[in-house]
Structures are given as C-alpha cells and as structure tokens.
Amino acid sequence: MVRMRATLAVLAVVLAAGCSAPGSDSEDAGSDSGPIKIAVVDAQSGQLSSLGAWELKGARLAVDEWNAQGGVNGRQIQLDVFDDQGDPTIGTNLARKIDSEGYIAMIGTAESAVTIAMAPLLKQAEIPNITSGQSPGLVATKSEFLFLNGPTSTTYDETLAKHIVDQEGIKSIAMITNNGGYGKGEHDAFLKALRSRGVTPLADQVVTADQKDFSAVLTSIRQKNPKVIFLGAEEVESGLIVKQARDLGITATFAGAAPQGTPVFIDTAGAKNAEGAIVSSPYLSNDIDEASKKFAAAYKAKFNEEAELHGAKAYDGTQILLTALKTSNVASGKQLADAIRATKHDGLLGDFAFDETGVGIFETSIGVIKGGKLVAAES
C-alpha cells in the first residue's frame, strides 16, 4: 500500500512536470559583444561537396576582407562551417544547432532539398539564410528569411532562349534534362521560355541523375537532327552526354546554364567536344570587369586555385549579408532580414535588388566555350 502511494506520488510529479512544458526558455539570438557568428552550412563530403567547398571559399574570402578592415561596428565576424552531407535530415539538425549556438545568419546550402528542409526551422528561429540554390521550390517555401544569391532557373533559361531563338533564329531544338532537382527546374523553365516563343522542342528526353549510357536517348535525338541541344543536368552528367553525343556523330551545338560553363564539364566532355557550347551564366569569367579581376586575384592568392561561379555567388551573398549587418547596426532576426531585403549591392554577378520572394538578381549573360574556356559571346 505504501509502495502504491509512492508510485502514485511519483506519477503525479511526473505528470505535473509533463504539463509544464519543458524547453520554453528562450535563447537569445545573439549577444551584443564578442564576434558576430555566421554559419556556412554545405555538403563538405559526398557527391556535391565540390559546390560546398567552393561556396565556403567565397564566403571565407568576403569575411576575411571585412575582418581585415575592422569587421562590422568594430566587432569581428566569426565564420564556422557545418557539413550537412547533402542529407535533409542532417540539415534540420544543423538548423537547430546553429540556432542554439547563437549564429545570427546562415550562408548556404547548395542543395535545394536541404535548404527547403531547413527553411521552416530557420524561419521559426528567425535566422536569415542566403542560399546558392536556384530551384523554384526555394521560392515556394515563402519564407521571408530565405534569400537567393543568384538568379533562378527562369532567368538563366529565359536569357538562353532569347539568345538562341530570338537572336540566332534557331527553332530546331532538342532537350535532355535529368529528373533531379536541378534538371527538373531547368526542364520546366526552358520549356516555358520556348513555348512563350511559339517553339516546340523536337525532342524532350528525361534521363536519371546517375545514368551512364545515353545511346538510346541520343540516337533518337540524332534522327531528329536538331541544331541545338539543351542540357539540364549537372556538370559530370552533361559532360558524359556531350562526349557520347560526339561519339555518335552528333554535331549539334549544346546549350545550358551554369554547369555547362565549368571546368568539370569541359574536362568530362573533352575540350574538343565541348567547343562552341552556349552558356547562360551570371558570372562568365574572372576577367569580365575590374571587380571580377580583383576577386579572382584575391581568390587565387588565398586558395591557390582559379575562382569560379559558385565561389563568386557565395562571395556576393556574404557581402550582402555583411552590408546589411552594417546598415542595421548588427541587428538580428526579422530586422536583419529586412535589412538584407533593402540592400542594393553591385556585385560580381550584377546589381542585386531583392524582391518579396527573396530573389535579388534577374539577369545573366551569354557565353561560349572557346578553346576549352568560357568567354563572353560576341553580340
């Protein structure tokens, strides 16, 4: 009987404790002294880690430049990297982690799925996030804390279609896209751009993201004999497609967005095969203008490798964040997000001006691969 009463007592305590919900203590988002903590969340391992590595370098370069000039409001900026391994579940863990460890803003990720998974948590925690994804799904999260450091697929492909159809007058176009997040976005955006011009693609082929042999797809395209083949796939897969297409005797010009301008694409395809490919990109090369030359030189000096698009995007994104921190007097949460939205920035990719959806840049340029290098197209 005594035992029973004791059990009941314990039970009552437990229940009472259960009713007063745990964890209602609110952590402060950022303290007013000490370094300003910014997190870079990106895949540092796994298949997409090259994007993550580039992005980290771009962000690091920007932060180091600011720190060298005394930081923001006299406070140094502390940049820490977190590895999401390309896994959305780990992404959510990290969202909680950076929240509880007092980071006030986040740079990354390069994987749309991870960013989308993190978005609601970051919104709840009021941590502004500048991502380098470009998928329409990012905009669809409708989070006022999510910003894109580059154009969306719509911008890339609208520019591309304008160049190919309107300027070059080519209407004989075939499409190969993969079913991954990036490929799907490219597929929809480019198809829409073509349709708005009254053009129907000769072929609209979908491949899987880890396909290796494209003979069936390419042979059926070869029979339609298009002038231009649009590629909506990541660097390596696009390279393989181009290599196999040339082996099959396809002479058509390839066209695509940012991945088709990268060295990985050119290496995989072979420089000869990639020659003439049309690329729509906000950052064609390291010597477009003074700003890019300066950035490229600093990048090279710091990391001993050539700068490229993803680093440039992260650099721009970080610059915007730091500028907003400065103009808002190191605010956090909603105020910081508003400050980012209000920031006008003349960056490497162009003039940033964010709209309600968190997209800040609506312009890309057309480049061509010549002699194994991406150069601006003569217009």
Residue ranges in 144-173 that form contacts with another protein under rule CB under 8 A: none
Residue entry with tokens 């005394």: 70
Binders of another protein in range 262-301 (CB under 8 A): 264, 267-268, 270
CB of 273 or CB of 292, closer to another protein: 273
Among 33, 68, 74, 212, binds another protein (CB under 8 A): 212
At closest approach, how far in Å is the CB of 135 from another protein? 6
Q: What is the 3-state secondary structure (H, E, C) of 78-102?
A: EEEEEECCCCHHHHHHHHHHHHHCC
At closest approach, how far in Å is the CB of 236 from another protein? 5
Q: Does 207 bind another protein (CB under 8 A)?
A: yes
CB of 153 or CB of 292, closer to another protein: 153
- Tell me which amino acid residue 370 is: K
**Among 17-25, 64-72, 153-161, 276-284, the segment contacting another protein (CB under 8 A):** 17-25
Binders of another protein in range 171-200 (CB under 8 A): 178-184
CB of 56 or CB of 322, closer to another protein: 56
Among 55, 111, 157, 158, binds another protein (CB under 8 A): 111
**Among 60-68, 129-137, 161-169, 368-376, the segment contacting another protein (CB under 8 A):** 129-137
CA–CA dist 100, 102 (Å, integer): 5
**Among 115-123, 277-285, 311-319, 347-355, the segment contacting another protein (CB under 8 A):** 115-123
At closest approach, how far in Å is the CB of 351 from another protein? 29
Tokens representing 199?
């053009």
Q: Does 78 bind another protein (CB under 8 A)?
A: no
Among 73, 208, 225, 251, binds another protein (CB under 8 A): 208
**Among 114-122, 285-293, 308-316, 345-353, the segment contacting another protein (CB under 8 A):** 114-122
Q: Does 251 bind another protein (CB under 8 A)?
A: no
Tokens representing 184?
């799907």
Q: Does 220 bind another protein (CB under 8 A)?
A: yes
Q: Could you tell me the CA-to-CA distances from 79 to 57, 106, 119, 141, 359 in Å, in that order?
A: 11, 9, 20, 26, 24
Q: Does 105 bind another protein (CB under 8 A)?
A: no
Tokens representing 345?
């920035």
Among 6, 12, 248, 342, binds another protein (CB under 8 A): 248
Beta bridge partners of 192: none
| 282 φψ region: left (φ > 0), alpha (ψ -120 to 50), beta (else) | alpha
Which residues have C-beta within 8 Å of that of residue 272, sequence separation ≥ 6?
246
Instruction: Compute φ and ψ for 23, nearest 5 degrees.
Output: 75, 15
Binders of another protein in range 85-104 (CB under 8 A): 85-90, 92-94, 96-97, 99-101
**Among 77-85, 297-305, 312-320, 335-343, the segment contacting another protein (CB under 8 A):** 77-85
Report the candidate in 272, 332, 326 with the shortest Cα–Cα distance to residue 129.
332
Binders of another protein in range 32-61 (CB under 8 A): 44-47, 49-50, 53
Among 215, 225, 251, 329, binds another protein (CB under 8 A): 215
